[in-house]
Amino acid sequence: MEDGKASSRTGTVLWMVDAFALIAFVLVGIRSHHESGAAATFLRNAVPLLVAWFVAAAAVGTYRRPSRRTLLITWVLAVPVGLIARSLIVGSPTGSRLVTFLGVGLAFTLLFLVVGRVLAGVIGRRVFPVAPRT
C-alpha cells in the first residue's frame, strides 16, 4: 500500500501522462487531417477535450484513487463530451460523421492513454525500483 506522499506522486505523474497522451492524440489528429493555423487549431481541438477530461477526472477521483476503473469511467464520460464540444466549436463533423468521429476518437484516445500509462509504469519501475519486502 502506498503512503500519502507516494500516492500523491503517482497521481501527479498520471495526471501529466494523461495530459501528454491527450495532447498527442490531438496533434496526431491535426497532422492526419492536414489542418493549418497551428496555435488556434491546436487550442480549439485540445481545450474542450482537456477541460472535459480533468473535470471528469476530478469528479471521479481518477488521480486520488488511480485504477483501471477510474481511468475507464473518466474516459467514457470525458471523451464524448470533449469531442462533441469540439465539434460544436468547429462546426463539424455533424450527423453520421459525428458518430464515426466519436468512435474513432474514443478508440484512439483510449489507445494513447493506455500506451502512456504502460510506458510510465515501465519507466517508473526502472527509474524508481521497489525494494523487496522482507
Q: pTM for the full model? A: 0.86
CB atoms within 10 A of CB 90: 13
92-124 residue pLDDT tens: 899 999 999 999 999 999 999 999 999 998 887
Give the residue extent of every domain in the chain: 4-127
Q: What is the pLDDT of residue 33?
A: 75
55: left (phi over 0), alpha (psi -120 to 50) or beta: alpha
Q: How far apart are CA 60 and CA 15, in angstroms?
A: 13
Q: Quick one: pLDDT band at residue 35, thresholds 50, 70, 90?
A: low
Helices (H), the chain: 4-32, 38-60, 68-90, 96-127
